[in-house]
Amino acid sequence: MAEFVLGIDLGTSNSVAAAERPDGPEVLVDAEKRGPQPSIVSFHPSGSVLVGHEAKRRRLIDAENTIYSAKRLIGRPFSSPEVQKIAKQMPYPMVGGDNDQTIIEVRDQRLTVPEVSAFVLHHMKVIAERTLRQTVNKAVITVPANFNDAQRNATLAAGEIAGLDVLRIINEPTAAALAYGHGKKMDRKVLVYDFGGGTFDVTILEIHGEVFEVLATAGDTYLGGDDFDVLIMDRMVAQFLEQTRYDARQDGAAMERLRSVAEQVKCQLSGQGRSVVQVQELAYGPDGAALNLDFVLQRDDFEKLAEGLVDRTFAICDEAFKLAQIPINVVDEVALVGGSTRIPLVRESVRSYFARAPLATINPDEVVALGAAIQGASLLAAVAPPPSLPTASAPQTTLQGRGMPAIPPAPGETRPPPPPKPRPLLLDVTPMSLGVAIVGGYAKVIIPRNAQVPAEQMEVFSPGADGQTSVSFRICQGESQRFEENTELGELILAGLRPAARGEVKIEVTFEIDTNGVLKVHAKDETTGRMQDATIKLRGELGASEMSDAFERIGPGGGA
């Protein structure tokens, strides 16, 4: 039986699973033939956990116990500005946990964000196993190109909790380029404009046959379709207040209904010039009378609201071209990826900025998962044993699609196996500089932005006091010279050092960013050659006991 590696696009709004079949990559669908699944998890009063479309239906009636847009939270400490902003907008409560973790409280449970994402991943695993009719334990999971180390580690943790062996974390734009270019013998520069539900990425690649080399990447992990919804929702809130003198912001249930309607309005305006909706019984007046909202939004008015968000994407494109050190006119193709690229304003703005029609021949909601599936099959082929050679005793076969018997080998004759499918080679880059804190509140860059991965750099550290047997350094990602203006990842801890006078012990620390974009460290005593204990304690990271508890709830046989 053939083994499969799932390609999973774990999205803010929707998630998609795909697998490589003999005829190419294919999106895997549920019993109702639906591919994309809402990235929503709802905790039912009965104790069951609903994921996907069933969870989305409960969002309007049980908002406090239904979690969505978790991707905007994953890998972010509770004290971060992004989490604090989200906490004020979402109906489900969030609190800070140990190590500054973001904890979501639903019914009688306290869940970390990787656990929530694990429910979604496990749901995709179940759909895949029903479609493929076999157990599937391996996966390639995609992340925004601009995800930092903590966010990538949290995604890996979510996959592990869901019972998946995550072979690789790859960037979403790179996966999309793979879906467009694999097997097509291209020799072109391609820009992937990836505008999803919660994040925006732009990646410039050079494709030579099966070599996919990233020249530059840039992005914003807090810019996406959710922000368009908020603009429309704010317009509805203002109109409802003007018509009824009722402020819907004081009513969590009303706000959740408006958020859902805003998403519908956005989608309608992608196919028509105006959207007309009526929200009945949105609230009730002092005398108990129902208060309804009749709302009309013209596409032109929506575009005026949204143009600021779209303009932000092109500032990021400018940044990517600067990093790649190439002019805009050398790009041969512009590929659209992500649900937000369905918005006419976005498509027309892309056409105007690049002075060419963008490429959208593959479903923008599915292309990332398809590329991840291609990469998964390639990784599997790289470790699979070579096929056995047919001999004269081999049974007669049929040429597929022709109904003709194949000519059997002559006695004693051996034939080479069919040539393997070409395997893609992905050469990606670091999205942000990696640095450590130094005196004066500054950050010293260890591995610069846009360095090709895997990448490594060695630095020498020394204890600052006599007899010191451990030392720690704060680490960050970002481009500012000031440490506090970057994203603090956590601490690098060197332990078990031999006691000596100040400056006598010198520790060689090798910082490595692997093919997943994840940071690893190795350390040794420069004088003795002895390997030292070196660990990275990430802010908001799950501990071993928390991982174990989460796996019991969500892993094979549990959860969704």
Q: Write the DSSP symbol of residue 356.
A: S
CATH number, domain of 137, equals: 3.30.420.40
Tens digit of pLDDT for each residue in 68-124? 999 999 999 999 999 999 999 999 999 999 999 999 999 989 999 999 999 999 999
Strands (E), 29-180: 37-38, 41-43, 49-51, 66-67, 94-96, 102-106, 109-112, 138-143, 165-171
Catalytic residue among 26, 62, 115, 194: 194
Same domain, 154 and 18: yes
- Residue ranges of the chain whose pLDDT lies below 50: 388-405, 556-560
Is 332 an annotated catalytic residue? no
* Number of separate domains in the chain: 3
**What pLDDT is attached to residue 394?**
40
Same domain, 479 and 504: yes
**What pLDDT is attached to residue 397?**
35
- Terminal CA-CA length for the chain: 26
Is 366 an annotated catalytic residue? no
Any alpha helices (H) in 275-336, and if so which ranges?
Answer: 299-324
Same domain, 55 and 133: yes
**What pLDDT is attached to residue 382?**
81
Q: Which of 257, 275, 304 is the last residue of a domain?
A: 304
HSE-up of 36 (CA within 13 Å, CB side)? 16
Distance CA 318, CA 149 (A): 24
CATH number, domain of 438, equals: 2.60.34.10
Which of 63, 87, 75 minimizes the C-alpha distance to 117?
A: 75
Task: Determine, yes or no, domain membership for 40.
Answer: yes
**What pLDDT is attached to residue 402?**
35
Same domain, 238 and 104: no
Is 413 an annotated catalytic residue? no
Same domain, 248 and 293: yes
Reported pTM: 0.91
Q: Tell whether omega for the bond before 454 is within 30 degrees of 0, i.e. cis.
A: yes
Catalytic residue among 9, 160, 366, 546: 9
Catalytic residue among 115, 172, 201, 263: 172
Q: Which amino acid is at 4?
A: F
Distance CA 391, CA 388 (A): 9
Same domain, 549 and 498: no
What contacts 312, CB < 8 A, 6 or more positions away?
Answer: 200, 220, 223
Task: Judge contact between 96 and 79, C-beta under 8 A.
Answer: yes
Distance CA 12, CA 7 (A): 16
Same domain, 549 and 502: no
Catalytic residue among 56, 71, 125, 266: 71
Same domain, 549 and 533: no
Same domain, 22 and 154: yes
Is 227 an annotated catalytic residue? no
What contacts 437, CB < 8 A, 6 or more positions away?
Answer: 443, 444, 473, 474, 475, 476, 483
Same domain, 60 and 106: yes
**For residue 451, what are the domain limits?**
434-514+518-539
Same domain, 176 and 232: no
Q: Which of 266, 283, 304 is the last residue of a domain?
A: 304
**What pLDDT is attached to residue 416?**
64
CATH number, domain of 277, equals: 3.90.640.10
Same domain, 496 and 474: yes
Task: Judge contact between 545 and 161, C-beta under 8 A.
Answer: no
DSSP letters, 136-155, are: --EEEEEE-TT--HHHHHHH
**What pLDDT is attached to residue 5?**
98
Which of 317, 297, 318 minimizes the C-alpha distance to 228?
A: 297
**What pLDDT is attached to residue 404?**
43
Q: Which of 304, 332, 357 is the last residue of a domain?
A: 304
